[in-house]
Amino acid sequence: MKRDLTDRFLKSLKPPASGRLEVSDTKRVGLRFRLSSSGRATWMFEKRVKGGPKRKHTLGAWPEPTTLSEARTMALEIEAEAVKGIDRVAIAEADKLANEAAKSAALSVQQVIGLYDKLHLSGLRRGTERRRQIEQSLEPKLAGPMGDLTKADLQRPIDEKASAGRGVYANRIRSALMAFTKWAAGRDHLKDDIGERLTKPTKESSREREPSVEEVRYIWASTFEMGELWGPAFRLLILTAQRRHEILGLDWSEIDLERATITKPGSITKNGKEHVTHLSEPALAELEALKESAEADRGTSTGLIFTTTGKTPISGVSKAKARLDKLLSDKVAPWRLHDLRTSFATSMVEAGVPESVADRVLNHSAVSSAPSAVARVYGKAKMLDQRAAALDRWAALVTGESADVIKLEMK
């Protein structure tokens, strides 16, 4: 039952013979009045936390201590917090865990990481990856007291990665550990922020590697020797110019073969915004072949496209890339998968594609200022044709259907 609740209406309600009577408030959506057969009346409010689960909150008994007006006020406060991503339930659970652990013994490093995950990492798109980095780095110390952790314990895994030639990844571990100890010190799990002055293992500079169209063609041709799994995956990375995790994690629900598009939800993209990618004829042909193969093997084309388990995307990218490099021999200078995006952008801008169009294909967000409402609509709808033309031109260059980069007349 739904209605605009009033004190007079609530007083008129009679307890049901059995079970529970529930009335939803139309004035404060999510607020419910519950009346049991015993005559006990309570308030409950349900709201989804931004980027998280839907939570139920018990607001108290009616009419004392919680009146209708007070229940609506409490619901409004919870709603405002939920919109900001604040999860009262998770916070209460974490605080309970901390209190219980503190009573029996000092919190271990693993327990503090668990609290950090509940109160912070769980709200981040890459929170799971960040937790894994921290746990792997501090594995020898996980069972020990958090208070015994030292700066040397943090610096050691950073230096080990740097010594192994993985300087950039070492920088990422340093950032993860610094954020973790800063949070822990702020909640008195550490006396001082021991990660504040961790040494940065390497200085990063923006890459300027832009494989030429000729090099990309070599890469393209070599992918046909990579088998039925990695071959199509690499070819779609080239043809769409999208980020690695967005293509390797493709789901059939994101593909529209009739409209020739990939639509990635904001929960997956780097900038948190829905992104539509046009499928050129070669890209469409790759997916149609994959669909036919999936239906022949499994009887259906649902779920993940590139997977060996049916539950998780394919792994072993580094090994697959090493195999591809071996096939290329010395025809292509050292490169990374991400460089393919740079090659697309450079080639298309040289062909006359506006930089704003190339940026939108790559799903780059403007950083200088927030776009106006008109710009947002234009960027999402009116430039799709231009983006499609750019990807079609790129596909023609990569596959060899077009030999030269020529100027495009953009509509």
Q: What is the average per-residue pLDDT within 373-385?
A: 54
Of 271 and 24, more confident: 24
The two tokens of residue 9 are 């209406």
Using the structure block, give the residue that is written with the tokens 């999402």: 380
| Diameter of the chain measured on Cα atoms | 85
Look at residue 410 and tell me if it is in a domain: no
Look at residue 106 and tell me if it is in a domain: yes
Of 46 and 371, more confident: 46
Q: Do 262 and 344 lie in a common domain?
A: yes
Beta strand 31-36 with 54-61 is unpaired
Q: Could you tell me the residue range of the domain that residue 8 belongs to?
A: 2-86
Q: Do 344 and 236 lie in a common domain?
A: yes
Q: Do 110 and 230 lie in a common domain?
A: no
pLDDT digits over 2-30, tens only? 999 999 999 999 999 999 999 999 999 99
Q: What is the average per-residue pLDDT within 167-174?
A: 88
Q: Do 239 and 325 lie in a common domain?
A: yes
pLDDT band at 409 (very low <50, low <70, confident <90, very high): very low
As a whole number of angstroms, the distance between CA 397 and CA 408 comes to 13
Q: Do 261 and 389 lie in a common domain?
A: yes
Q: How high is the pLDDT of residue 207? A: 58
Q: Do 53 and 162 lie in a common domain?
A: no
Look at residue 368 and tell me if it is in a domain: yes
Look at residue 406 and tell me if it is in a domain: no
With a cut of 90, say whether residue 391 has pLDDT above it: yes
Q: Do 255 and 392 lie in a common domain?
A: yes
The enclosing domain of 176 has a CATH number of: 1.10.150
Q: How high is the pLDDT of residue 140? A: 94
The enclosing domain of 70 has a CATH number of: 3.30.160.390
Q: How high is the pLDDT of residue 202? A: 80
For the chain, the domain total comes to 3
Look at residue 142 and tell me if it is in a domain: yes
Q: Which of 265-274, 330-339, 392-401 has the lowest mean pLDDT?
A: 265-274
pLDDT band at 283 (very low <50, low <70, confident <90, very high): very high
Look at residue 409 and tell me if it is in a domain: no
The two tokens of residue 294 are 């999936």
With a cut of 90, say whether residue 392 has pLDDT above it: yes
Q: How high is the pLDDT of residue 271? A: 76
Query: Looking at 186, 205, 235, which one is the last position of a domain?
Result: 186
Q: Do 313 and 331 lie in a common domain?
A: yes
pLDDT digits over 314-350, tens only? 989 989 999 999 999 888 888 999 999 999 999 999 8
Assess contact for 149 and 189: CB atoms under 8 A.
no
Beta strand 41-48 with 31-36 is antiparallel
pLDDT band at 406 (very low <50, low <70, confident <90, very high): very low
For residue 304, the cross-strand partners are 251
Q: Which of 200-209, 255-264, 298-307, 365-374 has the lowest mean pLDDT?
A: 365-374
Laid out side by side, the sheet with 261-264 consists of 255-256, 261-264, 275-278
Q: How many helices (H) and strands (E) does the chain have?
A: 16, 8
Q: What is the average per-residue pLDDT within 163-182?
A: 90
What's the half-sphere exposure (Cβ side, CA atoms, 13 Å) at 115? 25
pLDDT band at 372 (very low <50, low <70, confident <90, very high): very low
Query: Looking at 33, 66, 86, which one is the last position of a domain?
Result: 86
Q: How high is the pLDDT of residue 411? A: 37
pLDDT band at 105 (very low <50, low <70, confident <90, very high): very low
As a whole number of angstroms, the distance between CA 57 and CA 78 comes to 9
Q: Do 381 and 299 lie in a common domain?
A: yes
pLDDT digits over 52-78, tens only? 899 999 999 999 999 999 999 999 999
Q: Do 225 and 306 lie in a common domain?
A: yes
Smallest CA-to-CA distance from 43 within 63, 26, 18 is with 63
Look at residue 306 and tell me if it is in a domain: yes
pLDDT > 90: percent of the chain: 64
Q: Do 268 and 131 lie in a common domain?
A: no
Of 373 and 361, more confident: 361
